[in-house]
Copies of this chain bind each other. A is one copy, B any other.
Amino acid sequence: MNQDSAGRLVERLRSWVADAPPGTRLPSSRALVAQHGVSPVTVHKAVQHLVAQGLVESRPGVGTFTLTAPVPRTADLAWQTAALGARPALLPGLASPQRSGRPDAVELRGGYPDPALLPERLVRAALARASRGDAAVQRMPPAGLPELRAWFAREAGRHARPGVTPPGERDALVVAGLQGALGSVFRTLVGSGGALVIESPTYWGALLAAAQTGVRLVPVPSGPDGPDPDVVDHALATSGARAFYAQPTFANPTGGRWSEETGRAVLAAVRRHGCFLVEDDWAHDLAIDVDPRPLVGHDDDGHVVYLRTLTKSVSPALRVGAIVARGPARDRILADRAAQTMYVSGVLQAAALDVVTQPGWARHLRTLRAGLRVRRDELLEALTTHAPEVEVAHRPVGGIHLWLRLPDGTDPAEVVRRCEQQDVLLAAGDEWFPAEPTGPYLRAGFAGADRDRFAEAAQVLGAVVREVATAR
């Protein structure tokens, strides 16, 4: 709101309110229009903003008045230390991709694409239509809008191999983003104290969800081509794990992709041990060089519990995704979701369905792919030129991140701290490891930041890495 005329008026009125005694009546709208040379709509917006911030109150038919400012006392919150106990080791606060930085910094931490890469027109039109439809005023069934469930099932079924029955509408459950879905899946399939095999490194949000649900992590090393199926087999056999959580396609953070053989071998191991593969296909729409071929297409016996999201390819405001699961697992996950969130807002579901069934959707996916390719290549080039000390572990074929290895002995946290002082925001790789990190890594997202500043960011990173190396 700071850029527009209402924003400027808010700032002026805010200082006026600060100087006025409590209970003072604001000038009338007409007077404000005249005094500040703005439209009545602008005055209305600015006053509403002050009402929302609790600086003034409207008394209908009388006018708008400044509020009484209470004298704050010093609260006694120390008792909470005893009540809450020691700080939990695994949920210390917000993870680095969730923190916000200075608006003029180069944001390479984030997990979200630049708004310019997203189908803004489709999204706005879909939301406008949803605001006029039933979804704006009705409650949704816990499993989701039937047409949207059918769409997600069909998407998963597109990859069904010959002879495999694709999932149906009933097998798809709509969720509000994948983070809560991970919690439900871990709680339902594994449960507190149960073992969950997991790739290392892997998505920090999955590590958080595991910590929240109290599952015991059994990490297996994974790289650009996925884990060694024999190691997975051994981990499943010895841990008694009920599930293996993995990102076979465009893994976060490495950008890797399992080979067809790895996928088949892991799935065979999962079947042999009578457990689940939780396939997190978070980057399905973020392919760059190759098309996604999710493993859910190999399975109709309910071994694969498949996760898909639209948040990153449609809009961060349309937090809509789906869990595809079959049999009793599906029923239990639904009961858990319903107990967690009741249902997902119908407006978001209707708008998401609208976007993905427009003719413009396929076009958007092509544009997005081209945009991600340019950004990936530009950041790679900038790093090669200006930060040759940093090794790009793998040229990602999809997703939105580069996984960077620093020279041995470099402290990633120190590099991140010094870069941040120069307005370049990166994430230390440690957050992606379920155990001790196996090396000094950084994660750099290429989808969110200003492309024109990739070179500047790489220069800062290169200089900081050299500086930290010298200081050792």
Binding site for B on A (CB under 8 A): 48-49, 51-54, 58, 60, 70-73, 75-77, 79-85, 88, 91-95, 98, 100, 112, 115, 118, 120, 123-124, 127-128, 130-132, 135-142, 147-148, 150-151, 153-154, 157, 160, 163, 165-166, 169, 176-177, 179-180, 183, 187-189, 191-192, 205, 208-209, 211-212, 214, 242, 274-276, 300-303, 315-319, 326-329, 331-332, 334-336, 338-348, 353, 357-359, 362
Contacts of A84 in B (CB 8 A): 188-189, 242, 328-329, 332
With most chain B CB atoms within 10 A of its CB, the pick from A81, A141, A147, A153 is A147
Which residue of chain B has its CB nearest to the CB of A119?
B137
Given the contacts A70-B160, A327-B77, A183 and B302 also touching, CB distance less than 8 Å: no
Given the contacts A92-B335, A336-B91, A328 and B176 also touching, CB distance less than 8 Å: no
Docked complex Cα distance between A12 and B411 (Å): 66
Going nearest first, the 8 A-B pairs with the smallest beta carbon separation are: A127-B131, A77-B327, A54-B154, A139-B316, A208-B339, A128-B131, A52-B147, A317-B347
Contacts of A153 in B (CB 8 A): 54
Which residue of chain B has its CB nearest to the CB of A178?
B342
20 A-B residue pairs with CB within 8 Å: A48-B358, A52-B357, A53-B151, A80-B302, A80-B327, A83-B274, A88-B332, A93-B335, A120-B137, A127-B127, A137-B316, A138-B316, A140-B317, A177-B341, A205-B339, A209-B339, A319-B341, A319-B344, A345-B345, A345-B348
Q: Per a CB cutoff under 8 Å, which of B209, B315, B346 touches A316?
A: B346
Which residue of chain B has its CB nearest to the CB of A60?
B359
With most chain B CB atoms within 10 A of its CB, the pick from A72, A179, A347 is A347
Docked complex Cα distance between A301 and B73 (Å): 10
Which residue of chain B has its CB nearest to the CB of A84?
B328
B139 touches A112 (CB 8 A): yes
Q: Per a CB cutoff under 8 Å, which of B54, B91, B142, B345 touches A335?
A: B91
Contacts A53-B154, A76-B301, A127-B131 supplied; 4 other A-B pairs, CB < 8 Å: A51-B357, A70-B166, A115-B137, A192-B214
B136 touches A127 (CB 8 A): yes
Contacts of A75 in B (CB 8 A): 165, 300-302, 326-327
Q: Within the complex, what minimum Cβ distance (angstroms) separates A203 from chain B?
A: 12
Docked complex Cα distance between A184 and B178 (Å): 17
Docked complex Cα distance between A157 and B73 (Å): 14
B53 touches A340 (CB 8 A): no
Docked complex Cα distance between A69 and B251 (Å): 32
B127 touches A347 (CB 8 A): yes
Contacts of A334 in B (CB 8 A): 94
Q: Within the complex, what minimum Cβ distance (angstroms) separates A103 from chain B?
A: 12
Contacts of A346 in B (CB 8 A): 316-317
Which residue of chain B has its CB nearest to the CB of A183?
B340
Docked complex Cα distance between A164 and B362 (Å): 57
Docked complex Cα distance between A72 and B168 (Å): 10
Docked complex Cα distance between A43 and B176 (Å): 31
Q: Within the complex, what minimum Cβ distance (angstroms) separates A86 from chain B?
A: 11
Given the contacts A54-B153, A137-B120, A357-B52, A176 and B127 also touching, CB distance less than 8 Å: no
Contacts of A160 in B (CB 8 A): 70
Which residue of chain B has its CB nearest to the CB of A67?
B154
With most chain B CB atoms within 10 A of its CB, the pick from A81, A300, A345 is A345
Given the contacts A53-B147, A139-B112, A332-B84, A176 and B179 also touching, CB distance less than 8 Å: no
Contacts of A48 in B (CB 8 A): 357-358
A94 touches B318 (CB 8 A): no
B98 touches A165 (CB 8 A): no
Docked complex Cα distance between A332 and B140 (Å): 31
Docked complex Cα distance between A357 and B209 (Å): 36
Which residue of chain B has its CB nearest to the CB of A154?
B54
Q: Per a CB cutoff under 8 Å, which of B141, B165, B180 touches A180?
A: B180
Contacts of A317 in B (CB 8 A): 135-140, 345-347
With most chain B CB atoms within 10 A of its CB, the pick from A51, A147, A341 is A341
